Amino acid sequence: TAKLNTVAKAAGKKYLGSATDNPELTDTAYVAILSDNTMFGQITPGNSMKWDATEPSQGTFTFSGGDTIANLAKQNGQLLRGHNCVWYNQLPSWVTSGNFNASQLSAIVSNHCGTLVGHYKGQVYSWDVINEPFNDDGTWRTDVFYNTLGTSYVSIALQAARAADPAAKLYINDYNLESSSAKATAMVNLVKSLQASGVPIDGVGIQGHLIVGEVPSTFQSTLQQFTALGIEVAITELDIRMTLPSTPALLAQQKKDYQSVIGACKAVTGCVGVTVWDYTDKYSWVPSTFSGQGAACPWDANLVRKPAYDGIVAGF
Ligand code: XIL
């Protein structure tokens, strides 16, 4: 049977990839599939490049977990997505403490992004420099960065990232950007304003945490709204969950849903690739986050391919 990265590349995409996480790397059967670069041409660290992992106390950087993933990508001949520089979640308490004024927090954001991106210079295809800046209604998320710096934290982070690794594609990444919505409009407007003021921005990441039977019909046109701005898009965290237990009917619908998401990316020239948010239900974040839901990935918890796998192949 066809391998996923092989079919993605044959369709003109740069990669079909997977998220992974450090604790899973002791599972040799899991790693064997992950490391096949005809299956996955790209990997993303699910946690180990986040702020709490990389700068747990101010000015002290710890890259060991991230380095493990970066080295795995290198060994396997896979692209690497960096994830992420600035996010309201998984922040160490020294950042959220509220103890910093604007000029201090500006320097902290700049130093964090510059040091993190600089550490992986030359190894990363694309970075999620900003993660999840918007609420679903298109207003800004009022996290410590916005509350202290207003929208300027976005350009501070992007400029620091560009200076640290000029070759890396710089992305803003968010969920619920899969349909035309207030949030997607807010993202379009943000990209336009960054471009107008000369701030570096290369792509928008569409996370793609979806529900079986609910892939938006405007998925493709929404991707095109972004690429029309002259930037690339990527589907960065694809999984399609269902209410458990899974049934043959739900798995068949999930196959169709994977196929239509992949088909939308295939149809849009500027959609460079698709990353599943881990390839197996064994290590999916879904059950622990969405109570009663799961079975969101293209491989089951026994590392056996599901109908969704064939949906991905068919979509390309
Ligand atoms: C998730 C990880 O997969 C989990 O292991 C962790 O406990 C929480 O974060 N959007 C993102 C990702 O951008 O960073 C999140 O990853 C999933 C939602």
pLDDT tens across the length of the chain (316 residues)? 899 999 999 999 999 999 999 999 999 999 999 999 999 999 999 999 999 999 999 999 999 999 999 999 999 999 999 999 999 999 999 999 879 999 999 999 999 999 999 999 999 999 999 999 999 999 999 999 999 999 999 999 999 999 999 999 999 999 999 999 999 999 999 999 999 999 999 999 999 999 999 999 999 999 999 999 999 999 999 999 999 999 999 999 999 999 999 999 999 999 999 999 999 999 999 999 999 999 999 999 999 999 999 999 999 9
* Closest protein CA for atom 2 of ligand 1: 46
pLDDT of residue 190: 98
In short, whether 131's Cβ falls inside 6 Å of ligand 1 is yes
Question: What type of residue is 88?
Answer: Y
Q: What are the start-end ranges of the H helices in the chain? A: 4-10, 28-34, 51-54, 64-76, 93-96, 102-119, 144-149, 152-164, 182-196, 219-227, 248-267, 286-289, 307-315
In short, whether 46's Cβ falls inside 6 Å of ligand 1 is yes
Active site residue 232: no
pTM of the predicted model over 0.80: yes
Of 109, 102, 70, which Cα lies nearest the Cα of 88? 109
* Closest protein CA for atom 12 of ligand 1: 46
Which of 277, 281, 293 should be mutated for ligand 1, with most atoms under 8 A from CB?
Answer: 277
Which of 22, 24, 47 should be mutated for ligand 1, with most atoms under 8 A from CB?
Answer: 47
Gap from CA of 141 to ligand 1 centroid (Å):
17
pLDDT of residue 189: 98
Report yes or no: 103 and 144 within 8 Å, Cβ to Cβ. Answer: no
Query: Which value does ipTM take for this structure?
Result: 0.99
Ligand 1 atom closest to Cα of 209?
Answer: 18
Ligand 1 atom closest to Cα of 175?
Answer: 10
